[in-house]
A and B are shown apart, each in its own frame.
Chain A
């Protein structure tokens, strides 16, 4: 409802708006439901497809010994009916217990604590790089629409989303490590290198916390190349999205009105176009971040980066159900949290949404 002419709405701050708290609660609840949905679907699918986790995790000789098999099944609860297994998994999950990995024989939660930060570290650097480059290219592309910079950037960004990450990783590694010698090699630190004391699990941050700049520099040099390779796809996505949303906004009446005021084009773009476009770009960046976590599987493989991707690969090959579920959960949780944050951000920043809600 529009107010009668003359009276203005008397809402002050968005946070004090009546609809805000219920909105957050509603969104939180659906987010939690989504996480459970993810566990349910990964559980069902991995149960529906044939494949014997026992065979995958025991050696040939052990597998032929029924006693060992029975003991293994009992240890990991595989002797129970599937619904019981799922029920157990969920009740344990509610207590923060993600089960024990079949392949590493350690609690999945501990595995994740070790592997997740490694992936988080390259993903964060990658998304940061991708945002800067993608925004810049997308803006140039939009303002030079259909002229040669736009054409070049269009081909460039399409190439970015068309490169097989594992091959890019390999080629980059060959060139920068083997030929040029600029990149240090595989892993997170040089062989035998002492990781900084764990606070966040991100080696660069932890080294800074300790004040150990040498380790910081080393950790950073090791993560740079994987992060750049990981960023390439996201650069393509963000460039294309930035261009599209800028063009959409450029077609708005309010942009024409801003130009009719005789403002410099730079001001029009920055203040009147980029600001609203940024909102939707941030949304995509959030989602892109989550997909980077999953996409790291192929990149980590080449760089022997001891992260979530490598862990997921081992879990998948070993039909390690708790491991697979753990990875799925953590990636899904990041994705869902990103979406939640973006939605909340939207409500706070965009006054129109605030009013129409």
Chain B
């Protein structure tokens, strides 16, 4: 029964997503970036780290987006940059969604003191200036994109924990969960078999809404020099090069546009997915 419900719900929201123009635009943009990232060596006109052009060339037919301080072709670097920004933001979201969901599930299922303790901890994290903590952790671990991912995961999990806990508390009132507990199924079984179908949809939507934020935070850390390091072609650190040479507008403009389009595309998708969910879940996501 539970699986049946899940199926109809899933297919409904998947179908209606194609009817939303914003979602389609978002999917197309992400698909484009994915293709660029996967086939970067064939698409990029130059080696991203080759320093054989001249420095600070303005955009031209030869260098669509100009060259940077170290004579490198910016468009080629942006294409290669997609290989860093996209997978790492996705990884970050998967990590924090998993961590948060597990903590939230424990909290919601255990209830009582465990629950109130965990919820107070998430309260603390919500009160926390996430980027400050992420900066500190990233600095302490050493500036590397991998460490930036860990740092942001540490501050990003509480939203998922709160969502999953809320959903479990709701579901616990449902008859079928009580029934399955009465039938003697174990706590773990109840969680995995009976509740998971109810949780996966909202968690997926929240995660899709958070990919954009993850990308923003990651590239922000790189911009500050706390994420990806030169010479790797990461979009945020490319923008920081533009900040040093702000009078050469093309150096910072194009990598920033790359971030903007990718984040916007994820947000288009996440937003449309949320609208496709039933209103009550959508409200749970907003709160």
Encoded as 1 (CB less than 8 Å from any A CB) or 0, chain B from 131 to 146 comes to 1110111111110000
Chain B residue at minimal CB-CB distance from A333: B127
Is residue A222 within 8 Å, beta carbon to beta carbon, of the partner chain?
Answer: no
Shortest CB distance B93–A (Å) = 15
Encoded as 1 (CB less than 8 Å from any B CB) or 0, chain A from 12 to 47 comes to 000000000000000000000111011011100110
Which residues of chain A have a CB within 8 Å of any CB of chain B? 33-35, 37-38, 40-42, 45-46, 49-51, 56, 154-155, 158-159, 161-168, 170-171, 173-174, 178, 241, 244, 248, 290-291, 293-295, 297-298, 301-302, 312-313, 315-319, 324, 327-328, 331-332, 335-336
Is residue B99 within 8 Å, beta carbon to beta carbon, of the partner chain?
Answer: no
- Are B219 and A178 touching (Cβ within 8 A)? no
Encoded as 1 (CB less than 8 Å from any A CB) or 0, chain B from 28 to 67 comes to 0000000000000000000000000000000000000000
- Are B133 and A167 touching (Cβ within 8 A)? no
What are 28 pairs between A and B in contact, CB < 8 Å? A38-B128, A41-B124, A41-B128, A45-B136, A50-B141, A51-B142, A158-B268, A159-B264, A162-B267, A164-B223, A164-B236, A166-B223, A167-B239, A171-B252, A173-B246, A174-B247, A244-B286, A290-B129, A294-B131, A297-B131, A298-B131, A312-B129, A316-B136, A316-B138, A317-B226, A319-B136, A328-B132, A332-B127
- Are B120 and A164 touching (Cβ within 8 A)? no
Shortest CB distance B47–A (Å) = 25
Chain B residues closer than 8 Å to A154, beta-carbon distance: 22, 271
Chain B residue at minimal CB-CB distance from A173: B246
Identify the 3 closest CB pairs spanning chains A and B, nearest first.
A167-B256, A51-B140, A294-B129
Which residues of chain B have a CB within 8 Å of any CB of chain A? 22, 120-121, 123-133, 135-142, 154, 212, 216, 219-220, 223-226, 236, 239-240, 242-243, 246-247, 249, 252-253, 255-256, 259-260, 263-264, 267-268, 271, 283, 286
- Are B127 and A316 touching (Cβ within 8 A)? no
User: Interface on chain B toward A: helix, strand, loop, or mixed SS?
Assistant: helix
Chain A residues closer than 8 Å to B224, beta-carbon distance: 297-298, 301, 313
Chain A residues closer than 8 Å to B286, beta-carbon distance: 241, 244
Which one of A49, A158, A294 contacts B132 once the chains associate, using CB atoms below 8 Å?
Answer: A294
- Complex CA–CA separation, A313 to B255 (angstroms): 23
- Are B128 and A324 touching (Cβ within 8 A)? no
Chain A residues closer than 8 Å to B246, beta-carbon distance: 170, 173-174, 178
- Complex CA–CA separation, A62 to B193 (angstroms): 60
- Complex CA–CA separation, A155 to B271 (angstroms): 11
Given contacts A297-B131, A335-B126, 15 further A-B contacts (CB under 8 A): A34-B127, A38-B124, A45-B133, A45-B137, A46-B140, A159-B260, A162-B216, A168-B256, A248-B283, A298-B223, A301-B223, A315-B136, A316-B136, A318-B139, A332-B128
- Complex CA–CA separation, A345 to B139 (angstroms): 39
- Complex CA–CA separation, A336 to B220 (angstroms): 25
- Complex CA–CA separation, A46 to B139 (angstroms): 10
- Complex CA–CA separation, A174 to B225 (angstroms): 21
- Are A327 and B132 touching (Cβ within 8 A)? yes
- Complex CA–CA separation, A38 to B236 (angstroms): 29
Chain A residues closer than 8 Å to B253, beta-carbon distance: 171, 174
Chain A residue at minimal CB-CB distance from B235: A164
- Are A42 and B263 touching (Cβ within 8 A)? no
- Are A158 and B271 touching (Cβ within 8 A)? yes
Which one of B128, B141, B259 contacts A42 once the chains associate, using CB atoms below 8 Å?
Answer: B128
- Complex CA–CA separation, A171 to B224 (angstroms): 17
- Are A42 and B142 touching (Cβ within 8 A)? no
Chain B residue at minimal CB-CB distance from A298: B220
- Complex CA–CA separation, A41 to B219 (angstroms): 25
- Are A295 and B247 touching (Cβ within 8 A)? no
- Are B136 and A46 touching (Cβ within 8 A)? yes
